[in-house]
Every structure is written in C-alpha cells, then in structure tokens.
Amino acid sequence: MGVKQKRARYKEEFRREILDAARELFINEGYEKFSLRRLAEKIEYSPTTLYLYFKDKDDLLFAICEEVAEQFLDNLDRVGTLQTDPLEALRQALLYLMEFGLENPNQYKVFFFTNPMVYGTQEEFMERDSMARNSYFAFRKIVQDCIEAGRLREMDTEVLTQVLAVAAHGLIAMTLFNRSFPWADRQVLAHTLVDGLLRGYAP
C-alpha cells in the first residue's frame, strides 16, 4: 500500500537530517512531548526507519547530547579565553553554564537528565572521547588555572570542579523542574550563587 517511498542516499546525511528534526521537535514541543513516533511522523518516515540509523532511543539521545555539548563547549571555550583574569574567567564560565541551561531548557534536560547511562560506565566516560567529557575537562582547566594563579584556595581540583559544577547545575535543575516553587529572579540567584561560592556568605 506504500504510496510514496523515499531513499536516503547517504547514511550520515540522513542521520543528520533526523537529528536536526529531533532537535527542532525538542525545542518546539518540549522535552516531555518528545517521542520516536512523533519524530518519525515529523520527518514523514515510519517509526521503525529510525532504527536503521540509531540503535535505540538512547543512542539517538546520546547523539543529541553530544550536539548540545558541542555547542556548549564552543561557547565555554570562548568565555575561557576572553578573560585574562582566571578568577573572572571562572565566574563567567559559571554564569554561562547557568545561562545556557536556563535559556535552552529542553536541550539541557536531554543533556543532563535523560537516561543516566547513555555515556556508559564511569570508566568509559573518562576514556572515550566525547563532547560531554571535554566540556568537563575545559571547565576543570579553568578551575585549575585559578588555583595555580593563587586565586582559589589550594585543594583537590577534581573535588572543587565538581562542587562548583553541581552548585550551578542545581540552580538550573531546580528552577527548571520545580516549577511550582516561587523562585526569585534567576539572574539574581545566579549572581548570588557565584558570589557565595567565591567569597562565601559568612561575613
């Protein structure tokens, strides 16, 4: 009964086409309403066709995560090299992270809150080259520079990097997911958070 038939000449090309459509679907319809079937409908293919280009849903989400991470990393690098003062670079990086999450909620949700294992085990995450991993490295570099310049207390770089990251992510995640709560202005929260992390709230 198939009336129209299409051929995707090059696998890579079509993969990109699918990913573009997926990203658009995420942005337009939101993270919650995304589904393989809707995506298939959007690109006017049968749902099963997707399985010729992606192993499963997680595989597709992983690809999207990498796209998002790439975009994020590009901007983070610009932020990092723009400032001469390492501490100011860190401040800007933290602010940028939060801005990125808040301005691209759907992409952020895919990136940080989908299937918790799309990047494999912890060892695999650190060994395999991925945009997500490189983002972390870039961020860690900024933190390290601060420590080496004596602008941050001497302490375990890994721990400090992670603490700073989770604090920033917390602001994004909470204001994004906990919509019933009357949050203060996000800009104010973001700046206050960075201030507190760097200077502390004690007088």
Partner DNA sequence: TTTTTTTATTAACATCGTTAATTTAAACCT
Partner DNA sequence: AGGTTTAAATTAACGATGTTAATAAAAAAA
Contact residue for DNA among 56, 74, 156, 158 (CB under 7 A)? 56
- Cβ proximity to DNA, 35 vs 187, nearer residue: 35
Supply 62's token pair. Answer: 């992983």
List the interface residues with DNA, window 92-131 (CB under 7 A).
Answer: none
From the list DNA, a copy of itself, none, pick the one residue 181 interacts with, judged by a Cβ distance below 5 to 8 Å according to partner type.
Answer: a copy of itself
Residue 200 burial by Cβ neighbours in a 10 Å radius (0-12, 13-18, 19+):
exposed
Nearer CB in complex with DNA: 39/98: 39
Distance from C-alpha of 116 to C-alpha of 158, rounded to nearest angstrom? 21
Backbone dihedral angles phi then psi of residue 7, each to the nearest 5 degrees: -125, 135
Distance CA 49, CA 54 (A): 9
On the 0-12 / 13-18 / 19+ scale of CB atoms within 10 A, 180 is exposed
Return the one option of DNA, a copy of itself, none that residue 81 interacts with (CB less than 5 to 8 A, by type).
none
188 binds, among DNA, a copy of itself, none (CB under 5 to 8 A by kind): a copy of itself
Report if residue 201 touches a copy of itself, rule: CB under 8 A: yes
Residues in binding contact with DNA, number by CB under 7 A: 27
Output the CA–CA distances (angstroms, integers) from residue 51 to 22, 36, 121, in the order listed.
14, 10, 24
Interface with a copy of itself, residue 55, by CB under 8 A: no
Residue length, the chain?
203
Chosen from DNA, a copy of itself, none, partner binding at 7 (C-beta under 5 to 8 Å by type) = DNA
> What is the contact surface with a copy of itself in residues (CB under 8 A)?
87, 112-113, 116-126, 136, 150-156, 158-160, 162-171, 173-184, 188-189, 192-193, 196-203
